């Protein structure tokens, strides 16, 4: 299908009564997926936002429940968000990240009800990447600038219009319910195919990650970690901005000084911080930057693969772009790929 660019603001406005629309925008100097109050606010021209869209489903900070202790015991009320949402303009790499979050929050014995309610009520309208950045490496991880995984619709910018690829029944229903779409022509499809070929040609060659997991399996004690982690300052920006990083903290905030009412809060947390694993006894299984850096790499490219069959990385490049010391995960992976097999054997 085709939608004209002149109709985009009206298209976004048409959701307003029923859905909250999240789209890339800058607020307080930081780009991320923000709630649009009017379609005309959509001015984003860039590729990936600084903040990943995971916060639509998994906010950086959220109240899980409130409690109130009274004469009749304790009242506990959960705070669920089951409002309908549309994420507009999400990039294919970010859309794939939800698939990894699904493993963690929905794929185990217990279900994360908070995540699930948001996930089930969220439509994803993707935007194909015509000009991938130098820091993009989605093709190394099974993605691509026009990848459709996880999306309901994929839009391709054809200049004055978008070609709309319908990918799910929900996407189909959405297109059918709006008056802005018309059938695409043969020429539109040809233009989109050419755009995809150009985008793919612009990607840097994919990394060969086939040797990474086998080396990591045996490389826990390799001297390599000492070297490679040396310049990491432990700021954690790589994990906070990672669309697949899911670690969190739980804490209580009391609303009164006698703790009779308050809330349980969930906030993003990170393996890059020493407090993350510090025991009450003072013992810390990951006492230095070396262990913490190793954990990040191991979790994404070894443990996650072992548990779920895929690496927890979509190649969005946020950790590459935002690292203050230019510690590039692609270089780390490339170095791992050329390590001697068995270099880190033994306990």
Partner 1 sequence: MKNPYLPMPMRIERIGVETSDGNIKTFTLSFIRDEDRQAFRFIPGQFAEVGVFGKGEAPFGIASSPLETERVAFTVNKVPGGVVTTALHAARVGDIVGMRGPLGNGFPVRAMEGHDVVIIGGGFAFTILRSLVAYLIHPSNRECYGRIQVVYGAREPGLLLYKDELAAWQKRQDLELTLTVDRCTAADEWTGCVGVVPRIVEEIKPEAAKAFAVICGPPVMIRFTLPVLEKLGFAPERVLLSLEMRMKCGIGMCGRCNIGHKYVCKDGPVFTLAELSELPAEY
Compute the distance between CA of residue 33 and CA of residue 44 in angstroms, rounded to an integer: 10
213 in contact with partner 1 (CB under 8 A): no
Distance between CA atoms of residues 74 and 347, nearest Å = 49
Q: How far is the CB of 312 from partner 1 (least distance, A)?
A: 11
What 3 state SS string does 181-215 have?
Answer: CECCCHHHHHHHHHHHHHHHHHCCCCCCCCCHHHH
The nearest distance, CB 224 to partner 1, in angstroms, is 14
Site size with partner 1, rule: CB under 8 A = 54
Q: Are 136 and 93 in contact (CB under 8 A)?
A: yes
Task: Return the range that interacts with partner 1 (CB under 8 A); candidates 137-145, 164-172, 259-267, 313-321.
Answer: 259-267
Q: Considering only residues 94, 152, 188, 269, which one is a binding residue for partner 1 as defined by CB under 8 A?
A: 269
Asked if residue 251 binds partner 1 (CB under 8 A), the reply is: yes
- Under the binding rule (CB under 8 A), the answer on residue 247 touching partner 1 is yes
State whether the Cα torsion 302-242-115-46 is positive or negative: negative
- Which two three-digit tokens encode residue 21? 């629309």
Query: Any idea what DSSP says for residue 303?
Result: I
By CB under 8 A, is residue 9 in contact with partner 1? no
Choose the binding region for partner 1 from 40-48, 66-74, 87-95, 166-174 (rule: CB under 8 A).
Answer: 66-74
CB of 321 to partner 1, least distance (A): 23
Residue 103: other Cβ atoms inside 10 A: 17
Q: Is 10 in the site for partner 1 (CB under 8 A)?
A: no
Our finding on whether 254 is near partner 1 (CB under 8 A) is yes
Binding of partner 1 by 309 (CB under 8 A): no
Q: What sign has the CA pseudo-torsion 299, 23, 11, 122? A: positive
Rounded to whole angstroms, the maximal C-alpha distance in the chain is 72
Contact criterion met (CB below 8 Å) for 333 and 212: yes
Which span (15-23, 121-129, 149-157, 302-310) binds partner 1, by CB under 8 A? 302-310
The CA distance from 295 to 215, in Å, is: 15
Choice from 129, 138, 271, 333 touching partner 1 (CB under 8 A):
271
Q: Which of 259, 324, 331, 343 forms a contact with partner 1 (CB under 8 A)? A: 259
Q: What are phi and psi of 215, to 5 degrees?
A: -70, -40
Binds partner 1 (CB under 8 A): choice among 114, 137, 155, 240? 114
Residue 80 falls in which region: left (phi positive, over 0), alpha (psi -120 to 50) or beta: beta
Interface residues with partner 1 (CB under 8 A)?
A: 64-65, 67, 69, 73-74, 76, 78, 104-105, 108-114, 116, 220-221, 246-254, 259, 262, 264, 266, 269, 271, 276-281, 283, 285-286, 291, 295, 298-299, 302-304, 306-307, 347
């Amino acid at each position: 299908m085709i939608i004209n660019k002149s109709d985009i603001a009206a298209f976004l406005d048409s959701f307003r009564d029923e859905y909250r629309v999240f789209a890339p925008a800058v607020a307080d100097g930081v780009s991320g997926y923000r709630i649009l109050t009017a379609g005309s606010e959509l001015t984003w021209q860039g590729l990936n936002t600084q903040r990943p869209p995971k916060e639509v489903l998994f906010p950086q900070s959220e109240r899980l429940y409130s409690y109130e202790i009274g004469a009749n015991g304790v009242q506990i009320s959960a705070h669920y968000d089951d409002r309908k949402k549309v994420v507009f303009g999400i990039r294919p790499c970010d859309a794939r990240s939800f698939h990894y979050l699904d493993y963690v929050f929905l794929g185990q014995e217990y279900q994360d009800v908070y995540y699930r309610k948001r996930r089930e009520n969220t439509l994803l309208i993707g935007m194909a990447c015509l000009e991938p950045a130098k820091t993009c490496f989605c093709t190394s991880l099974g993605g691509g600038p026009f990848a459709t995984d996880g999306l309901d619709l994929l839009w391709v910018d054809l200049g004055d219009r978008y070609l709309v690829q319908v990918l799910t029944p929900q996407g189909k229903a959405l297109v059918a319910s709006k008056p802005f779409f018309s059938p695409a022509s043969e020429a539109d499809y040809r233009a989109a195919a050419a755009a995809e070929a150009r985008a793919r040609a612009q990607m840097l060659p994919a990394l060969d990650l086939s040797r990474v997991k086998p080396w990591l399996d045996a490389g826990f004690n390799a001297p390599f970690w000492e070297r490679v982690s040396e310049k990491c300052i432990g700021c954690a920006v790589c994990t906070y901005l990672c669309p697949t990083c899911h670690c969190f903290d739980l804490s209580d905030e009391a609303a009164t000084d006698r703790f009779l009412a308050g809330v349980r809060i969930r906030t993003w947390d990170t393996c890059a911080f020493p407090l993350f694993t510090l025991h009450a006894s003072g013992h810390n299984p990951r006492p230095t930057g070396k262990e913490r850096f190793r954990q990040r790499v191991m979790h994404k490219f070894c443990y996650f693969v072992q548990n779920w069959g895929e690496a927890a990385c979509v190649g969005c490049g946020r950790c590459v772009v935002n690292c203050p010391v230019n510690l590039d995960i692609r270089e780390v992976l490339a170095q791992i790929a050329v390590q001697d097999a068995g270099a880190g054997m033994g306990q």
